[in-house]
Amino acid sequence: MRKYISLVFIVLLTVNSAAQPFLHTKGKEIVTADGKPFVIKGTNLGNWLVPEGYMFHYKKQLLPA
C-alpha cells in the first residue's frame, strides 16, 4: 500500500511540473502565460427570458390586490 501511495505521489508531482500555466494572476490583474493582460469579454441577455408583468400591458390585474 505504501508503494502505491508513493507511486501516485511521484506521478502527481511529475504531471504538475510538466503543466504550463495558461492564466494566472499578477497583483490584481489576470494575465496569460506570456504576461499579457487577459480581458474578459462576454454577452449578458439580462432578463430576456424572464419578462416582467408590466411588459405584457395587461388591462386588468390578474391577482387580487
Phi, psi of 29 (to 5 degrees): -100, 150
49 falls within a domain: no
3 falls within a domain: yes
62 falls within a domain: no
Mean pLDDT value across residues 22-27: 88
46 falls within a domain: no
CB 32 within 8 A of CB 38: yes
9 falls within a domain: yes
pLDDT value at residue 8: 82
Mean pLDDT value across residues 16-44: 82
Mean pLDDT value across residues 30-41: 90
Q: How many domains does the chain have?
A: 1
Structural domain boundaries enclosing 24 = 1-40
pLDDT value at residue 45: 73
54 falls within a domain: no
24 falls within a domain: yes
Whether the pTM exceeds 0.85: the reply is no
Name the residue type at position 57.
Answer: H
DSSP letter assigned to residue 54:
G
